Amino acid sequence: MVDPVKYALIEFLAWRQRRFANPSKEWPPCSVAELTFELGAHTLCGVPTEAPLSEARVFGPADRLVGDNLLYYKLGLEVECTAARIVGFRVVLDPASRSSYWERRCRPARLQLRMLDGSRHLLSRETSEVFVLALFGRPLETGPVGNDRVHTFRVGGNMVDSYHEPESGRLVELTVSLWAD
């Protein structure tokens, strides 16, 4: 059980950060209806990986800041940032399986993935590990991360990490960033 005083202090600090240190606080409301990642273009909803942070304005003001990252509860999305640049996207498909209270507050995301050949595939928390392996091919690496089994793929210059519940194989999270050589 969380100590109510500690919880209140954490919430106050988060509110203060959102209010005064949030680079997205003046952005217009979210204009994204569904998450779509184009593997060939390296973009999520038209926002390129490695773009300036201001390009993420289509997602609207962030609900929470996690370090430099912007977290969007309604989208199940974390925009990963370093030095005011977008370095990747993290899609939380099964928030209930995540360890952080803030991640569990997200709605389950659904991600439309446009492959290099133009085909489209919908990924959700119902997506199986078998399907992901068939979609991306043989992983470069597989191993445990926390309570998940993670596969790392290189797809068209993107690094894709798929996180799966070990018992069922369900897809619980997906991260995408540019492959750094």
Helix (H, G, I), strand (E, B) or coil at 161: strand
Nearest partner of 44 among 146, 137, 172, 176, judged by Cα: 176
Query: What pLDDT is stored for residue 102 in this prediction?
Result: 80
* Structure confidence at residue 3 (pLDDT): 77
Q: What is the pLDDT of residue 5?
A: 77
pLDDT on residue 55: 96
User: What's residue 17's pLDDT?
Assistant: 54
**What CA dihedral angle connects 138, 149, 36 and 136, to 10 degrees?**
10
Low-confidence ranges of the chain (pLDDT < 70): 1-2, 8-21, 181
pLDDT number for residue 13 = 59
SS3 of the chain: helix, strand, coil, percent, to 5 = 20, 35, 40
CA angle 132, 79, 3 (to 5 degrees): 100
- Closest Cα partner for 111 from 160, 56, 62? 160
**pLDDT at res. 30:** 95
3-state secondary structure of 94: coil
